[in-house]
Amino acid sequence: MFDSDALLLFIAAGLLLNLTPGPDMLYVIARTLGQGRAAGFASALGIGVGCFAHILAAAFGLTALLSAVPNAFDAVRLVGAAYLVWLGAKQIFARSDGAAAEAPQISSLGRIFRQGVITNVLNPKVALFFLAFLPQFVDPARGDAALQFLALGALFDVNGMLVLAAVVLAASRLRGLFQVGRARQMLERMMGAAFIGLGIRLAWK
């Protein structure tokens, strides 16, 4: 279905894009430092599922519709930004005194997974990225364009999750530095500030 040279170019370009630090990577790092390796993997998997939702939408034309209707784009963008700010504020203002400081609130892996999905799905820039990037490697002469789009998107998504998994493993090695008293409280506030910053960045742009 694909020309081998074009496929290798796609994989190389996709890996470079996945290795570029961005909101998804920061989110995964924050979750890993805050709650450990399992939470990091859950957030990475959630982001991967969210990305595939964008791939499906782009393959079947929904992303083109979103980009053609500015009000719809802005609405999704602002909802996503508000969700990130809410997550950040919740992290910053969580109780951190007394017993709560010794036993911080632990989110379930299912909740972390769902948050990863939501933060990615509510970022319309991801949808527009797939609409702009993937068609460059689709050749209608080599078969059904939608199937090519889905196959390339799945390949990109899997590579992205592998990169995030490596980030989780790296971040988990640093987690022990943030497990005592004030250091943990500082980390929680830094995580909250990071989420709020991502939300403001998404809303501003």
CA 112 – CA 94 distance, rounded (Å): 17
Domain total of the chain:
1
CA 176 – CA 68 distance, rounded (Å): 47
pLDDT-derived band at 160, boundaries 50, 70, 90: very high
The pLDDT of residue 20 is: 76
User: Which structural domain, as residue segments, surrounds residue 110?
Assistant: 4-204
Q: What is the pLDDT of residues 36-92, one digit of tens each?
A: 899 999 999 999 999 988 888 877 776 666 566 667 667 766 776 787 787 778 767
CA 96 – CA 100 distance, rounded (Å): 5
> In terms of pTM, does the model score above 0.75?
no
Q: With beta carbons less than 8 A apart as the criterion, state whether 59 and 146 touch.
A: yes
Lowest-confidence segment of 29-38, 43-52, 164-173, 188-197 by average pLDDT: 188-197
